[in-house]
Chains A and B, each alone.
Chain A
Amino acid sequence: MPKYTLNVNGEPKAVDVDADTPLLWVLRDTIGLVGTKYGCGMSLCGACTVHINGQAIRACGTPVSAVGSGKVVTIEGLAKNGELTPLQKAWCDHDVAQCGYCQSGQIMSATALLASNPKPTDADIDAAMAGNICRCATYPRIRLAIHSAAEGKKGVE
């Protein structure tokens, strides 16, 4: 099997997997980072969203052979030394999650949005988050959390 050395959350990870293995399954089964979720396998739901060089991509549709030396960041790589990012804090303050399964992907998409657009409008949020499905329909609070992280605000109450 081909051997790849991936850069995941700032650390080199050597993996022996088939070239067509989606990054999703390399992260989950080989490296053991299970925060990135499987939802559809067709880049339709966004549950597997991670960053490569800061861009939000779908790990289920990205073969490991295409990752190269790209810097992969997963949900586990956002907080540094146990300190949540302002967006992660906003997610907790607003009690966004219901079942929680899609939220890794939602947070990764929202993190990429704020990195490129620190003060997004509702329309910007719609455009950036349209690829992430939430079956529990937590959309109103996702929107609130993104706005309050952008404005540096604390939670609702």
Chain B
Amino acid sequence: MKTTITEKQPLVARRSFIKVTALAGGGFMLGSYFGIGEQSAVAQTTMPATMPTTQSARNAAGDFAPSAFIRISPSGVVTIISKNPEIGQGIKTSLPMIIAEEMEVPWESVIVEQAPLNGAFTGQVAGGSTAIPSNYGRMRRLGATARTMLITAAAQTWNVPAEECIAEDGVVVHTTSGTRATYGELAAKAATLPVPDEKSVTLKEPKDFKILGKRIGGVDNIKIATGAALFGIDQQVPDLLYATYTKCPVFGGKVSSANVDAIKKMRGVRDAFVLEGGNGLGAGVAIVADSTWSAFKAQQKLQITWDNGDKATHSTASYTEQAEAFAKASPQKEVAKVGDVDAAFASAAKTAEGMYFYPHLSHATLEPQNCTAQFKDGAMHIWAPSQNPGSAQDVVVKALNIPKDKISIDMTRIGGGFGRRLMHDFVVEAAAIAQKLNGPPVKLTWTREQDMRHDYYRVGGWHKLKGAVDESGKVVAWSNHFITFGENSIDRAGNGANVGADEFPNRFIPNYNLGQSIISSHVPLGFWRAPGSCAYAWTFQSFIDELAHAAGKDPLEFRLTLLGEDREVPGSGGRGRPYSATRAKGVLKLAADKSGWGKTLPRGQGQGIAFHFSHQGYVAVVADVTVSKEGELKVNRLTAGVDVGPIINLSGAENQVHGSMIDGYSAALLQEITVAGGQVEQGNFHNYPLLRMPDSPAVDAHYIETAKEPTGLGEPALPPTAPAICNAIFAATGKRIRSLPLSKQDLTWS
């Protein structure tokens, strides 16, 4: 994942360090700074009290632009800045919780502010479930640094040893005399102290945590419940104009001609123009109007002659034909080869074979893509619902030739990410329109149809699988011909379209082959919640179930046997991520235990189990389903066993696990993006449905809090859900599901 610190520094390495700043009037600010050279531990600056807002932080020039993490006002108000994009994963609550815990401030008294893009924060990305593992230690040390400085300030003021002072609930107490001072009272003094080396500060013992591990509600809950939370699409700027941008329905097509002169005459339309595109900007026609509706109406009257290029022949049917042809041949490329699968198949007690298929998916964030931008006096300001604003800045630099230091980005609350907003086509389009307008602010809003037809899709794919078990029921061979997509390439799989050489069950089976063939397609591919895993976990965990049944074994016991002894299996050749059989077995047993695995059920009811390791997290899911003879599926309950180490926010964690499981079910049940004539056929929720309340199953989440650094939970509960459901369908009906979505499969039984 690209982070914000990508620019080359030719002379001296830039680094970020913690620095304290005194606020006029007696306040304290602790922030991360980008600077050149050595840390200036005693360097202090005094800033006016009005200065250290996030807005001014962005505007402050030079290497020493502060990115405040913590501010304490003289009256004792503690403000903690959340640096990462909030897409519904709860990071705006959980990162400040970590700081507040170590700082020893009551959570109820903390004010949380959203940061803008600022390189000194580093890692302002919502992607890959990485925010917790990459920030946990750093946020703790920041909070502990502030606490240490406040204690030192009190000790010096009272002329007592710091060891005799403790901090609790926003107050420093001298334990022997009982003298007390609030953080507000100590802020001015603390701001004059040198910043201790962040590695030297003492962290709290987890057993003393008062905030972490508790159920903490989202910091924006009241705003959301009253309609006051502002998403990207809600940005209001004085004299705002409203825009649409229409691109060729065939991906990559160009504008030959458009009736922009007629459009310009429509009521409410201020301007209309063609943008040729290039350097990351797709070609299209912009309409600028005085309201969103005027722009949408004018868009309906657009008459564009497109140059479709040579991709208008692409279709899902032709992709399927190519896949079927590939399946008959040997893979184009060998990805992994262990042992001798052919010999193992020849001597195996039982074998199973199956061809699995899953479709392309759209992200369908409920907030359609949108962005507000203003280009004025050579500087671009952007209000963006972006999962990676640093990357957004980079793509605007490239597409529009504006210097990086002239592009500032405010990070808005985001109405769903799921990976869609790691790509910044909509940001570049808004910025390009703003650049052309040169002055007024403009908000670009995509229609739902545009959003669904110009996505970076979750890649579809096929897996031709063969497996073998020995007399004792152990898996002895596994071969997989994986047929995937390249983006206009037959050599390189697209984003999210790879299966890693180490992917499970490799490393757990003595004879293993993974081969790959690539279909070239012009369909843009992107990262969709739990990229890769969201697709192939279904395939592999379904096929493991097939092997369990071929061996005549209980699906849980079969998996525990496959995982083998408690141990951590290193990556191939000592490289790559290790795989903990211990933790995988732990979550399997937990999910099985909590779901009452092993019930004897009548025909038409079934339990299924699956597990997966992704994003550093281990999750197993048990599904309980009922299938009527007429083939009507009801998922009664999904039970998750989760090991991502210690839980930061119990309420937020539960939301992520519940949401991931239902999202996984929704996609597997209902969703498929198809292509005809080079264009995506679906356009709105009538032909690309999302699961609704009446079909939402009961869900529950259980945890093993293995004593490790915590890892992220936005993604890992999704991959094992669909296979658990399909395995339960098999248990209920005897029908093995090898193709998605489920709504297109015949589940009738007699």
A5 on interface, CB distance cutoff 8 Å:
no
B415 on interface, CB distance cutoff 8 Å:
yes
Give the docked Cα–Cα distance between A41 and B447 (Å).
8
Q: A25 to chain B: closest CB distance in Å?
A: 4
B221 on interface, CB distance cutoff 8 Å:
yes
B663 on interface, CB distance cutoff 8 Å:
yes
Give the docked Cα–Cα distance between A34 and B236 (Å).
9
Residues of A87-110 contacting chain B, CB below 8 A: 88, 91-93, 95-104, 107
Task: Name the CB-closest residue of B to A129.
Answer: B693
Chain A positions within 8 Å of B560 at CB level: none
Per CB-CB distance, the 9 closest pairs between chain A and chain B, nearest first, are A35-B227, A99-B88, A101-B415, A75-B227, A137-B662, A98-B88, A139-B696, A126-B694, A100-B224
Chain A positions within 8 Å of B685 at CB level: 40, 42, 44-45, 133
- When A133-B366, A157-B215 are in contact, do A32 and B236 touch as well, CB less than 8 Å? yes
Q: A84 to chain B: closest CB distance in Å?
A: 7
Within the complex, which residue of A42, A76, A129 is in contact with B227, where a contact is CB–CB below 8 Å?
Answer: A76
B356 on interface, CB distance cutoff 8 Å:
no
- When A21-B293, A100-B413, A137-B696 are in contact, do A39 and B658 touch as well, CB less than 8 Å? no
Q: A3 to chain B: closest CB distance in Å?
A: 15
Within the complex, which residue of A17, A32, A88, A129 is in contact with B226, where a contact is CB–CB below 8 Å?
Answer: A88
A36 pairs with B227, CB closer than 8 A: yes
B234 pairs with A34, CB closer than 8 A: yes
Chain B positions within 8 Å of A30 at CB level: 291
Residues 233-276 of B, flagged 1 when their CB comes within 8 A of A and 0 if not, give 11010000010000000000000000000000001100000000
Task: Name the CB-closest residue of A to B698.
Answer: A140
Within the complex, which residue of A39, A41, A95, A139 is in contact with B651, where a contact is CB–CB below 8 Å?
Answer: A95
B694 pairs with A136, CB closer than 8 A: no
Residues 109-144 of A, flagged 1 when their CB comes within 8 A of B and 0 if not, give 000000000000000011101111111111111110
Residues 69-80 of A, flagged 1 when their CB comes within 8 A of B and 0 if not, give 000001110110
Interface size, B (range): 35 or more
Within the complex, which residue of A17, A38, A133 is in contact with B368, where a contact is CB–CB below 8 Å?
Answer: A38
A91 pairs with B662, CB closer than 8 A: no
A150 on interface, CB distance cutoff 8 Å:
no
Within the complex, which residue of B231, B293, B666 is in contact with A25, where a contact is CB–CB below 8 Å?
Answer: B293
Chain A positions within 8 Å of B690 at CB level: 133, 135
B217 pairs with A140, CB closer than 8 A: no
B155 on interface, CB distance cutoff 8 Å:
no
B291 pairs with A141, CB closer than 8 A: no
- When A29-B292, A104-B227 are in contact, do A97 and B416 touch as well, CB less than 8 Å? no
A37 on interface, CB distance cutoff 8 Å:
yes
B227 pairs with A84, CB closer than 8 A: no
- When A18-B267, A45-B685, A47-B366 are in contact, do A103 and B224 touch as well, CB less than 8 Å? yes
Tally of contacts, chain A with chain B, CB under 8 A = 192
Chain A positions within 8 Å of B218 at CB level: 95, 97, 100
Give the docked Cα–Cα distance between A30 and B268 (Å).
13
Q: List 13 A-B contacts (CB under 8 A).
A: A18-B293, A29-B293, A34-B230, A40-B685, A41-B296, A42-B448, A74-B227, A76-B227, A88-B225, A98-B655, A129-B692, A138-B659, A139-B693
Give the docked Cα–Cα distance between A37 and B685 (Å).
16
Residues 629-666 of B, flagged 1 when their CB comes within 8 A of A and 0 if not, give 00000000000000000000001100110110111001
Q: A107 to chain B: closest CB distance in Å?
A: 6
Residues 32-62 of A, flagged 1 when their CB comes within 8 A of B and 0 if not, give 1111111111101101000000000000000
Task: Name the CB-closest residue of A to B693.
Answer: A129
Chain B positions within 8 Å of A93 at CB level: 217
Q: B349 to chain A: closest CB distance in Å?
A: 42
Chain A positions within 8 Å of B416 at CB level: 99, 101, 135-136
Q: B289 to chain A: closest CB distance in Å?
A: 10
Chain A positions within 8 Å of B652 at CB level: 95
Q: A44 to chain B: closest CB distance in Å?
A: 4
Q: A152 to chain B: closest CB distance in Å?
A: 17
A44 pairs with B684, CB closer than 8 A: yes
Residues 443-471 of B, flagged 1 when their CB comes within 8 A of A and 0 if not, give 00101100000000000000000000000
- When A100-B413, A126-B693 are in contact, do A136 and B227 touch as well, CB less than 8 Å? no
Residues 560-593 of B, flagged 1 when their CB comes within 8 A of A and 0 if not, give 0000000000000000000000000000000000
Q: B668 to chain A: closest CB distance in Å?
A: 13
A100 pairs with B229, CB closer than 8 A: yes
- When A29-B242, A76-B226 are in contact, do A39 and B448 touch as well, CB less than 8 Å? yes
Give the docked Cα–Cα distance between A138 and B416 (Å).
12
Chain A positions within 8 Å of B89 at CB level: 98
A13 on interface, CB distance cutoff 8 Å:
no
Give the docked Cα–Cα distance between A92 and B413 (Å).
17
Give the docked Cα–Cα distance between A32 and B418 (Å).
28
A44 pairs with B415, CB closer than 8 A: no
B693 pairs with A142, CB closer than 8 A: yes
A29-B242, A97-B221 given; 14 more Cβ-contact pairs under 8 Å = A17-B291, A40-B685, A41-B448, A88-B225, A91-B225, A99-B367, A100-B229, A101-B231, A104-B227, A133-B692, A135-B416, A135-B418, A138-B655, A140-B696
B414 on interface, CB distance cutoff 8 Å:
yes
Give the docked Cα–Cα distance between A157 and B651 (Å).
10
B292 pairs with A100, CB closer than 8 A: no
Task: Name the CB-closest residue of A to B445.
Answer: A38
Q: B539 to chain A: closest CB distance in Å?
A: 23
Q: B687 to chain A: closest CB distance in Å?
A: 10
Residues 10-27 of A, flagged 1 when their CB comes within 8 A of B and 0 if not, give 000000011011100100
A137 pairs with B227, CB closer than 8 A: no
Within the complex, which residue of B227, B655, B694 is in contact with A130, where a contact is CB–CB below 8 Å?
Answer: B694
- Quick one: which of B87, B227, B445, B693 has the most chain A CB within 10 A? B693
- When A22-B293, A100-B415, A137-B691 are in contact, do A95 and B366 touch as well, CB less than 8 Å? no
B397 on interface, CB distance cutoff 8 Å:
no
B90 on interface, CB distance cutoff 8 Å:
yes
A66 on interface, CB distance cutoff 8 Å:
no
B693 pairs with A130, CB closer than 8 A: yes
B221 pairs with A92, CB closer than 8 A: yes
A35 pairs with B226, CB closer than 8 A: yes
B686 on interface, CB distance cutoff 8 Å:
yes
Give the docked Cα–Cα distance between A20 and B652 (Å).
42
Chain A positions within 8 Å of B686 at CB level: 42, 44
Chain A positions within 8 Å of B242 at CB level: 29
Chain A positions within 8 Å of B696 at CB level: 137, 139-140
A28 on interface, CB distance cutoff 8 Å:
yes
A92 pairs with B448, CB closer than 8 A: no
A39 pairs with B693, CB closer than 8 A: no
Chain B positions within 8 Å of A22 at CB level: 293
Q: B419 to chain A: closest CB distance in Å?
A: 13
Chain A positions within 8 Å of B417 at CB level: 99
A95 pairs with B221, CB closer than 8 A: yes
B365 on interface, CB distance cutoff 8 Å:
yes
Give the docked Cα–Cα distance between A92 and B297 (Å).
38
Task: Name the CB-closest residue of B to A77.
Answer: B227
- When A84-B222, A104-B227, A136-B88 are in contact, do A99 and B666 touch as well, CB less than 8 Å? no
